[in-house]
Amino acid sequence: MGKLVVTTFVTLDGVYQAPGGPQEDTRDGFDQGGWSVPYGDEDFGRFVNGVFSRVGAFLLGRRTYDIFASYWPKMTDPADPVAGKLNALPKYVASAGLTDPEWAGTTVIRGDLAKEVTALKERTDGELQLHGSGALARSLFALDLVDTLHLLTFPVVLGAGRRLFPEGSMPSAFRHTGGEITAAGVSIQTYDFSGRPEYGSYELPENA
């Protein structure tokens, strides 16, 4: 059985919207797209290539799928560590509106998300990876289906944009399993889901 691994780029104030370009996602009038690009150094590239080396299949939201499908099929070098995997491996898209995907190897999933994704994990050899796809990621976190989170935090504050964990997100706890800081200042941290948060108090006992 594979595990579901989410890789997400966020700002210091938690925004995940449009990291890769100005026109990537302009919902709600967002005009600061492309904020991750200045930080894409060798350390960043090495980490991303390592993630893609472990993938068995991809799970994507509709918006991220459309962005990927407009670009990656044009990258035809099978030795490219990202394009080679995206073009060759199965891609599953959670969408109610996508009916006839043109990107080879794409399957649309509908209906009960928990049931569908659990089945995908059971039949995936290696990691079932979700990249970007913030709305879908939030749904999967709420269903306790995410096994591992790679959270890449970029040293920038935008003050606007869609956030990965907005108010009302499912309370969740994670166990830190590794991390690094790139030369450009991106914090790359890996967490495994560990259940619900535990709570305590720093107040001294009454009889202390």
Give the CATH architecture of domain 3-22+32-195.
Answer: 3-Layer(aba) Sandwich (3.40)
Per domain, the residue ranges of the chain are 3-22+32-195
Average of per-residue pLDDT values in the chain: 95
User: Lowest mean pLDDT: which of 136-140, 153-157, 201-205?
Assistant: 201-205
Say which residues have a Cβ less than 8 Å from residue 158's Cβ, sequence separation at least 6: 11, 13, 15, 32, 35
Angle at 34 between CA 28 and CA 39, to 5 degrees: 145
Ramachandran region, residue 56 (left: φ > 0; alpha: ψ -120 to 50; beta: rest): alpha
Of residues 4 and 126, more confidence is placed in 4
206 pLDDT band (50/70/90 cuts)?
confident
pLDDT tens digit sequence for 140-194: 999 999 999 999 999 999 999 999 999 999 999 999 999 999 999 999 999 999 9
Please provide residue 108's backbone torsions phi and psi, each rounded to the nearest 5 degrees. -90, 130
pLDDT tens digit sequence for 13-37: 999 999 999 999 999 999 999 999 9
DSSP state, residue 93: E
Ramachandran region, residue 57 (left: φ > 0; alpha: ψ -120 to 50; beta: rest): beta
Distance CA 2, CA 7 (A): 16
Pair 63, 91: CB distance under 8 Å: no
Predicted local distance difference test score (pLDDT) of residue 90:
97
Task: Please give the share of the chain, as a percent, with pLDDT higher than 70.
Answer: 99
Distance CA 55, CA 100 (A): 24
Nearest CA among 20, 5, 35, 51 for reference residue 180: 51
Predicted local distance difference test score (pLDDT) of residue 2:
86
How many residues make up the chain in this entry?
Answer: 208
Helix (H) or strand (E) holding 92: strand 91-94
Average pLDDT on 107-128 reads 95
Is pTM, for the whole model, over 0.95? no
- Position 208 pLDDT exceeds 80: no
Pair 59, 145: CB distance under 8 Å: no
